A and B are shown apart, each in its own frame.
Chain A
């Protein structure tokens, strides 16, 4: 087994651990924790007020004039519409649909169930986990930039998040993962982004090494109450 295969294995494993809530209750808890975590992570004081559990979920960041509506049916199917408010009217940016009826290669089906024991898995994990999380969340391989109410890279100093730092991942087939990377990408507080990267790196490193069967929503979103 080569290193790329091992990385793909962990990629799929992370999606299964953190972004695949099975029961309706788990799905509700995941979304509730998601919404709740935005308050601190985005550094805002108004929680998304239009969360209607079990129906369409709307997340709004008034300070970026961004809103996204999601319908998540299960961890394989969902649809998102992302809009930006241009002050006088709503402008729909795009829809992101995940439709399982159409073919997409599934890593879970392709990859072996277990890793080759001859590999020093923990060593590879430590070296490559950052790259895996970059690809999944922080800096998706294929992404779009959008123009928001923040400085562009030419006018901002190095302490600010710029429009170029916001990368909306493309081709993501798991709706929970898509939602999760939107949460990260729409956070424009640089310090919170950096801390979140460290926190998730530690979290996944620990949980993968412990071979945990899943990661609770509370842990995933760093909500300790």
Chain B
């Protein structure tokens, strides 16, 4: 990742990894927990759970400790990145691959077991052959079926395989003469209910007999039903105001003065979640155009961020949210009630609420995510940051916020009516951001989309949602022409269709087979819930790619509630049907004329720009003819 020392570093979603990144961007927080974690790495031998909500900084926290001690896990299991787990729900294959590969590299004698041969009736002779088969990047259908057959055989006989893996681990630890460290990463991408019984019991049981670090979501910390319920736990709660300020300072570098007026607003809207803070900051800066006041920008920022994170998501019950607003706390058991999967547990998993810290016993300090609290509150209850938002709204509407100030129940003068009407309007405006009516003006939107793709040093990921499918091709030509303004950027565009291979398979296959700068996928067909949910798990695989997803509007409404993880990574743009009208035909002609001067230079960038400009021009001329007819 390209970092700007002392400059702007917004790359949200990407955990910090190396010393230079920690030196420049790491925000000191959770010091007691950090010290506990260092002690665990150095001295302890039992398993440990590190948990936190989406965007709480778990991966960075973990990376920082390993980096400080210059000690790294011996075995890493990526349950969210290994396709065997994602496609076939086969976590056993993930740990088998990692353990056996490392044992082979360490020259451990594995001749005590003939499991590969026994389970495949002699088709596979040795452990090395087994690893070669299950790790090979062969995407032929034949290889797929051979691998699948072996995988099913091993999973069926997990009672036979797990003790063998235990023996391999013991041999490995004897060889290195210490306890090895295992890291089970990516469990945080699964709700407990989706982890599967096999993982929750057999795999967790197996891993918990070693010094294993489990990276989990907050919901797993509160889960009292799985094998790891009694393990040592570290819970990363929200950051305080000073720490969020520090985060902004570090991410803005020398430009921090330019957000002085909005730092407090952005901080309170972040709710103490570092990734939400960064998304707010990014959207604030992206919305920034000359002539807009800070309050207008902040208002737009709230709308865009609400849309990115919460549009079409299933809301938790209003009763739960009102309870949290009133009590500002919840009991830990509330998060693990069997019948509660759609309320407290989901609210926690999807960041509708934030856990700020432990109170007494099983009571935890909880707040409604400030970004969307207006959705759940009556006007009389709105205080604190809502006051601020109201004021923003007033400024945005170019009316005085005098009289819009929040008044309590005892205030019965006429200002109350003004306030209530304005509140309703504000709630509607902001509410639309999480429903379906939120659009930018066309020119602004085109510019934001194009800007996001201007540099190959910056892996932006965007979802473009459309109602009119005819808009896609011309818009794609336009965007790809713009993306080549400065530098040659190659791209591949793939239509995802319902066939033998799942959409996730088609995406991964395309990424693996093509070395291009921009990947563009059109979710042309509508896919079932299971296929869509599977894509949510690969968030971290997509981190380093520039990606555009084109999704029909009606499908997006169904997909987004299933993409709690992915939507942390993507910016969402909903297109108006008339969007292309904002492209000026004369401008395209002029650009084309300009580039045609250099055609003889046979430059890949210019050829790409010209080819796309020609296509969009042709489309525009045809549309014009159709209108005239």
Which A residues are closer than 8 A to B by beta carbons?
Answer: 24-25, 28, 32, 35-36, 39-40, 42-47, 49-55, 60, 62-65, 67, 83, 85, 87-90, 149-151, 160-161, 188-192, 225
- Select which of B6, B290, B455 is within 8 A of A43 by beta carbon: B6
Which residues of the partner chain B approach A63 to less than 8 Å between Cβ atoms? 8, 252, 255, 258, 285
- Select which of A28, A43, A88 is within 8 A of B4 by beta carbon: A43
Given contacts A25-B598, A45-B8, A225-B487, contact A39 B457 (CB under 8 A): yes
On whether the beta carbons of A191 and B591 are closer than 8 Å, the reply is no
In whole angstroms, what is the CA distance A40 to B456 when docked? 13
Which residues of the partner chain B approach A50 to less than 8 Å between Cβ atoms? 447
Which residues of the partner chain A approach B594 to less than 8 Å between Cβ atoms? 53-54
| Nearest CB on B from A49, distance (A) | 4
Given contacts A36-B486, A46-B451, A49-B450, contact A150 B5 (CB under 8 A): no
Which residues of the partner chain B approach A62 to less than 8 Å between Cβ atoms? 258, 285, 288
| Nearest CB on B from A200, distance (A) | 19
Most buried by B among A63, A64, A65: A63
B361 contacts chain A at the CB level, 8 A cutoff: no
B219 contacts chain A at the CB level, 8 A cutoff: no
- Select which of B255, B291, B447 is within 8 A of A90 by beta carbon: B291
B485 contacts chain A at the CB level, 8 A cutoff: yes
- Select which of A28, A51, A90, A189 is within 8 A of B7 by beta carbon: A189
In whole angstroms, what is the CA distance A39 to B286 when docked? 15
On whether the beta carbons of B454 and A65 are closer than 8 Å, the reply is no
In whole angstroms, what is the CA distance A36 to B456 when docked? 11
| Nearest CB on B from A66, distance (A) | 10
Hey, what's the 0/1 contact readout for B1-44 against A, CB within 8 Å counting as 1?
A: 01011111111000000000000000000000000000000000
On whether the beta carbons of B257 and A151 are closer than 8 Å, the reply is yes
In whole angstroms, what is the CA distance A87 to B294 when docked? 7
Which residues of the partner chain B approach A188 to less than 8 Å between Cβ atoms? 254-255
On whether the beta carbons of B451 and A150 are closer than 8 Å, the reply is no
* Tally of contact residues, B, Cβ under 8 A: 40
Q: Can you offer 29 A-B residue contacts whose CB atoms are under 8 A?
A: A24-B597, A24-B598, A25-B597, A25-B598, A28-B598, A32-B486, A39-B457, A43-B255, A45-B8, A46-B286, A46-B454, A49-B454, A50-B447, A51-B485, A53-B594, A60-B290, A62-B288, A67-B290, A87-B293, A88-B291, A90-B291, A149-B257, A151-B257, A161-B254, A188-B255, A189-B4, A189-B253, A190-B6, A191-B5
| Nearest CB on B from A162, distance (A) | 11
Which residues of the partner chain B approach A151 to less than 8 Å between Cβ atoms? 257
| Nearest CB on B from A174, distance (A) | 23
Contacts across chains A and B counted by CB atoms under 8 Å: 109
On whether the beta carbons of A189 and B291 are closer than 8 Å, the reply is no
- Select which of A43, A53, A85 is within 8 A of B5 by beta carbon: A43
Which residues of the partner chain A approach B454 to less than 8 Å between Cβ atoms? 46-47, 49
B590 contacts chain A at the CB level, 8 A cutoff: yes
In whole angstroms, what is the CA distance A38 to B294 when docked? 25
Which residues of the partner chain B approach A150 to less than 8 Å between Cβ atoms? 254, 257
18 more contacts with CB within 8 A, not counting A32-B485, A36-B486, A50-B447, are A35-B486, A39-B455, A43-B7, A45-B455, A46-B286, A49-B451, A49-B454, A52-B591, A62-B288, A63-B8, A64-B255, A64-B258, A85-B291, A88-B291, A150-B254, A190-B6, A192-B6, A192-B7
In whole angstroms, what is the CA distance A87 to B293 when docked? 5
Which residues of the partner chain B approach A24 to less than 8 Å between Cβ atoms? 597-598
Which residues of the partner chain A approach B455 to less than 8 Å between Cβ atoms? 39, 45, 47
- Select which of A36, A83, A90, A149 is within 8 A of B258 by beta carbon: A149
Residue of B nearest to A63 (CB): B255
Q: Describe B's contact surface by its main secondary structure.
A: loop
Most buried by A among B8, B252, B253, B447: B8
| Nearest CB on B from A129, distance (A) | 27
In whole angstroms, what is the CA distance A67 to B590 when docked? 24
Contact residues, B286-310 vs A (CB, 8 A): 286, 288, 290-291, 293-294
Most buried by B among A24, A44, A62, A190: A62
Q: Describe A's contact surface by its main secondary structure.
A: loop
B624 contacts chain A at the CB level, 8 A cutoff: no
Given contacts A62-B288, A189-B6, contact A55 B590 (CB under 8 A): yes
In whole angstroms, what is the CA distance A45 to B590 when docked? 28
State the 7 A-B residue pairs at the shortest beta-carbon distance, nearest first. Answer: A43-B7, A63-B255, A43-B4, A54-B594, A49-B451, A36-B486, A47-B454
Which residues of the partner chain A approach B601 to less than 8 Å between Cβ atoms? 25
B458 contacts chain A at the CB level, 8 A cutoff: yes
Which residues of the partner chain A approach B450 to less than 8 Å between Cβ atoms? 49
Which residues of the partner chain B approach A49 to less than 8 Å between Cβ atoms? 447, 450-451, 454
In whole angstroms, what is the CA distance A151 to B457 when docked? 30
In whole angstroms, what is the CA distance A55 to B591 when docked? 9
Which residues of the partner chain B approach A45 to less than 8 Å between Cβ atoms? 4, 8-11, 455, 458
Contact residues, B491-536 vs A (CB, 8 A): none
In whole angstroms, what is the CA distance A84 to B210 when docked? 61
| Nearest CB on A from B605, distance (A) | 9
On whether the beta carbons of B291 and A89 are closer than 8 Å, the reply is yes
Residue of A nearest to B259 (CB): A63
On whether the beta carbons of B293 and A88 are closer than 8 Å, the reply is yes
Contact residues, B249-271 vs A (CB, 8 A): 252-255, 257-258
Residue of A nearest to B452 (CB): A46
On whether the beta carbons of A47 and B8 are closer than 8 Å, the reply is no
Which residues of the partner chain B approach A55 to less than 8 Å between Cβ atoms? 590
Which residues of the partner chain A approach B485 to less than 8 Å between Cβ atoms? 32, 35, 47, 51, 53
In whole angstroms, what is the CA distance A191 to B591 when docked? 37
On whether the beta carbons of A44 and B258 are closer than 8 Å, the reply is no
Which residues of the partner chain A approach B6 to less than 8 Å between Cβ atoms? 43, 189-192
On whether the beta carbons of A43 and B8 are closer than 8 Å, the reply is yes
On whether the beta carbons of B8 and A44 are closer than 8 Å, the reply is yes
Given contacts A25-B598, A54-B590, A54-B594, contact A85 B258 (CB under 8 A): no
On whether the beta carbons of A47 and B4 are closer than 8 Å, the reply is no
Which residues of the partner chain B approach A54 to less than 8 Å between Cβ atoms? 590-591, 594
In whole angstroms, what is the CA distance A45 to B253 when docked? 12
In whole angstroms, what is the CA distance A118 to B454 when docked? 52
Which residues of the partner chain A approach B285 to less than 8 Å between Cβ atoms? 46, 62-63
Which residues of the partner chain A approach B254 to less than 8 Å between Cβ atoms? 43, 150, 160-161, 188-190
Residue of B nearest to A28 (CB): B598
Given contacts A25-B601, A62-B288, contact A44 B591 (CB under 8 A): no
Most buried by A among B2, B5, B7: B7
| Nearest CB on A from B207, distance (A) | 39
Contact residues, B128-156 vs A (CB, 8 A): none
- Select which of B4, B290, B587, B595 is within 8 A of A44 by beta carbon: B4
In whole angstroms, what is the CA distance A39 to B290 when docked? 19
Which residues of the partner chain B approach A67 to less than 8 Å between Cβ atoms? 290
In whole angstroms, what is the CA distance A49 to B450 when docked? 8
In whole angstroms, what is the CA distance A191 to B253 when docked? 12
Which residues of the partner chain A approach B288 to less than 8 Å between Cβ atoms? 62
Which residues of the partner chain A approach B255 to less than 8 Å between Cβ atoms? 43-44, 63-64, 149, 188
| Nearest CB on A from B44, distance (A) | 40
| Nearest CB on A from B253, distance (A) | 6
In whole angstroms, what is the CA distance A24 to B600 when docked? 13
Which residues of the partner chain B approach A39 to less than 8 Å between Cβ atoms? 455, 457
| Nearest CB on A from B271, distance (A) | 24
In whole angstroms, what is the CA distance A85 to B293 when docked? 10
In whole angstroms, what is the CA distance A150 to B6 when docked? 14
| Nearest CB on A from B443, distance (A) | 11
